[in-house]
Homo-oligomer: A and B are copies of this chain.
């Protein structure tokens, strides 16, 4: 097997991860339509699973990351526990953020998740700071900032890429390019689409891949991580995919051509990859069915868990504003 070949276990993992994400997202979307989730906002990453799985599986223990507002899939690929995710999205006390964060602010220090972020581009410099620590401590870990194509026009991205390149920080700037920022198609937001050049011009090793091809993403991520883990500095990774649903689950995307949607749906990364693996005899139909059933069961459990979890109480409002207690004489200003 060549250096860049992917072993069959990993291939099955890539597929399984995508399936788990899809099942979770479909279910959480359904729950949202039924009014069971808290909050008005729910952004699904259906259509982007190959990016989450491909980069997520190329990451290692000790790596850290931040995501944008469309981050469920990425976190699942990094180990996120569906129970606590679902409970958080339901706004419950057993959720990752005890019902304070909701869908857009899930975090889990344990798995290196430094937080999803509802400010477009807001998470990028934070991930760069994670890379600062890794460099300061001379680890061989990496830090990944996941963000959408919309964030390509937030200035803080370029400030962060420059700093990372200046200090050779092990940071990947990973663009989940789903072609739209809300109703704005990428060519109405970015004058030039030569994104690889943008990264290179700041001194980053840069690469663009088909984000519907999970193996291309996985191999690309591995190559780029190798670069960073060996001390050569940051990378810029653009993965092209599509947002199958609307901006929020309820957005019917009237601003998109139905043709365009169909073209991308036809490239759905999951069935294609399943067929590839089965035709290549790397997995059997039964293997796939087993993984699918397990994913469905995991998601169903998560829904039950979330339903049964408690709603936070008024007093919970006041916890976790600060770490340090202030002694009795100091009222909080």
A-side residues, CB < 8 A to B, are 153-159, 162-166, 188-192, 194-195, 197-198, 200-203
Contacts and interface: CB of A to CB of B under 8 A. Distances in A.
B154 A166 contact: no
- Count chain B CB atoms within 10 A of each CB in A156, A163, A166, A191 and give the residue with the most: A191
Contacts of A195: 201
Given A166-B191, A200-B201, 14 more contacts: A153-B159, A154-B155, A155-B155, A155-B156, A162-B190, A162-B191, A163-B191, A164-B191, A165-B191, A166-B189, A166-B190, A192-B202, A194-B203, A197-B197
Contacts of A153: 158-159, 162-163
Contact of A198 (B156, B188, B202): B202
A155 B165 contact: no
A148 to B, nearest CB: 15
A191 B198 contact: no
A201 B161 CA distance: 14
Nearest to A152: B162
Contact of A192 (B156, B189, B194, B203): B203
Nearest to A168: B191
Contacts of A159: 153-155
Nearest to A234: B191
Contacts of A163: 153, 191
27 contacts: A153-B158, A153-B163, A154-B159, A155-B156, A155-B157, A155-B158, A158-B158, A162-B190, A162-B191, A163-B191, A166-B188, A166-B189, A166-B190, A166-B191, A191-B203, A192-B201, A192-B202, A192-B203, A194-B201, A195-B201, A197-B197, A197-B200, A197-B201, A198-B201, A198-B202, A200-B201, A201-B201
A192 B161 CA distance: 11
A100 B209 CA distance: 54
Nearest to A199: B201
Contacts of A164: 191
Nearest to A161: B191
A237 to B, nearest CB: 16
Contacts of A166: 188-191
A180 to B, nearest CB: 16
Nearest to A193: B203
Contacts of A156: 155
Contacts of A157: 155, 158
For the complex of A and B, the 3 pairs showing the least CB-CB separation, nearest first, are: A155-B155, A165-B191, A192-B203
A153 B157 CA distance: 10
A60 to B, nearest CB: 25
Nearest to A155: B155
Nearest to A153: B162
A190 B158 CA distance: 11
Contacts of A190: 162, 166
Nearest to A191: B165
